[in-house]
A and B are shown apart, each in its own frame.
Chain A
């Protein structure tokens, strides 16, 4: 018992004051990218060709953050002349189109469905479905329950049964072997319900794009309301997106 009290004292209170106070991630974190429109076209073409995710559109000078794994190769290869990744973790969007970006995203709070805010603004219970992911999206969603983030203080939680849920949060490229389970879990959630695609796998197949063993795009199965890009999304990206979209 004394050890419990001693550890409690040593560990103290560690919960972030976000969103009242901003959080600054270490400078090396790769968040929202900017595509520099003045970049030499030949260099841009080389970087786009070399991109493992084929996420760069040279003609429109856009990067698709729904495909991008934020590996940073294009920034290194172009020495920052084509793409630079910022420290901005606010990446959530409400439409697939908005993810083709040159450096800015629409304000998420204004693109939320209004009835979602009134329905789920005070209490949002989500059923998480891991569908072919590599477990990093799952792990960095799980940490939202740790004392630093303490997701429950916002009235948001992940629940065990789809019957208790207001929506689903899907990670992974939806392997063929998980397709049926994703659909039946979705059906088991009572309407009205929200669908969240988290991580580039569920948005575009991620690193597994082109594999015949995955569906590769959650939106092709069920309509997605909220997209959370990243590989995996930083926990702050998820937290920001949930708060903006539902609060």
Chain B
């Protein structure tokens, strides 16, 4: 670790202070850190002011965050061979910049778009052709094998993606997930030269609309660090409450959907309605059910005073007994337990190898929670949560969500009880970013670790804006959970992860 620079979540550092290592030294140091206890937070390429290609790694080891960089050649020995945690990151770099990780075990496209340097495509795709281009999906041969292809347009009101199952009868040998259908070029828009700064929070909120608060917090904290903006105590409390409301709303909706997927309809109906109550609380603060417009660099855009606090207190008090009872109904029904238990298991060893985050990681026995490890906003005042069942099956993922709902329902009233009035800042906010700087921000969004990373050039313009949604780690976990499962359990496994397509596709 001696070669890596220790940094703090959301604290700007000078780019000159980031160790610029020799590639071999960099690779050795980063692999040493991640092979066992360390995890990859960010691993991305960028072109510096002289158009030289650079690589940056942000690694977390326990409580500590490290960063290091190096120059990147057109071809380099793959990190993934040594450590699976890099697998998707290396594919992303190959797609975005047209560089080849040599001997990468599964070098296929991620989001299906041309690289930004005008280099020959690593995957040999012609992008005037539709996705998946010339990629031959993974197949299993054999007389008894059949293939099921689903998507991109799915049977419900959900985002697009393509799923390929290789099955023998009901049993799934392999699930291949091809995303990219939601690719909107979010990173490119965020770092586009001359981009209007007022657009950035609006784009950040729409990276994944169900994580609008998670992503806009990462964005705002990064800008605040680079521009030296101070956020007052009241705004920090409101931003914390908003992130917890987002967590409650999504978890409640998903518990209902899980119940529906095992044909137990009462919780589906009740949780569907209750989820809406929490979206309406978000509207009470933000004027928008997903919290869009609320978080802006420097604070919040709307006042949250006694009137709003009272609405939230009352609603949480009114709804909590119902949530407790419906959860009891769900988790004590034998038919539900029989379907949740031992379904879609991702054992701890696999979860650790893949670097799963959020409730998917916690349900598999990886306790990491960014609210505890790298607390932002008012999280230092929030008590940690703990999880009882962590064997990696659907039941564990559902139970972790149940525990997180109850935890958030206890945490929000405590934050409200501080009775701090949160005054808005004047929007639009004008600011100057520190030149030649670097910052990484991490927040525990409802799905897990959301992270934004910004690099500025000598004029204080954004040189690189890297976004990572927790789904980037966890989609592979879903594919693994389907190994040797009945294909009819796919909806259940899928909903227990409920990953973001747009957050992944950017």
Contact = CB atoms under 8 A, between A and B. Distances in A.
A132 B184 contact: yes
B189 A211 contact: yes
A139 B488 CA distance: 24
A73 B200 CA distance: 13
Given A180-B130, A232-B290, A4 B266 contact: yes
B475 interface: no
A30 B287 contact: yes
A70 B206 contact: no
B104 interface: no
Nearest to A46: B428
**What interface size band does chain B fall in?**
35 or more
B105 interface: no
B141 to A, nearest CB: 29
Given A185-B153, A214-B184, A77 B328 contact: no
Interface stretch (B156-164, B362-370, B455-463): B156-164
A106 interface: no
Nearest to A4: B266
A220 interface: no
A6 interface: yes
Interface in B264-298: 266, 269-270, 272-273, 275-276, 279-280, 283-290, 292-293
Contacts of B240: none
B159 A69 contact: no
Interface string A65-82: 000011111001100000
Q: Of A160, A180, A185, A208, which is in contact with the most chain B CB atoms at under 10 Å from its CB? A: A208
27 contacts: A7-B325, A28-B286, A29-B283, A30-B293, A51-B198, A53-B202, A70-B288, A71-B293, A71-B301, A72-B293, A72-B302, A77-B426, A132-B184, A134-B206, A134-B209, A136-B206, A143-B272, A146-B272, A147-B269, A148-B273, A160-B156, A175-B184, A175-B505, A177-B130, A181-B181, A213-B184, A213-B188
Interface of A: 3-4, 6-8, 10-11, 14, 25-26, 28-30, 50-53, 69-73, 76-77, 85, 127-143, 145-148, 158, 160-161, 172-173, 175-178, 180-181, 185, 201, 206-208, 210-214, 231-232, 234
Interface of B: 111-113, 130-131, 152-153, 155-160, 180-186, 188-189, 192, 196, 198-199, 201-203, 205-210, 212, 253, 266, 269-270, 272-273, 275-276, 279-280, 283-290, 292-293, 301-302, 311, 321-322, 325-326, 328-329, 332-333, 424, 426-428, 500-502, 505
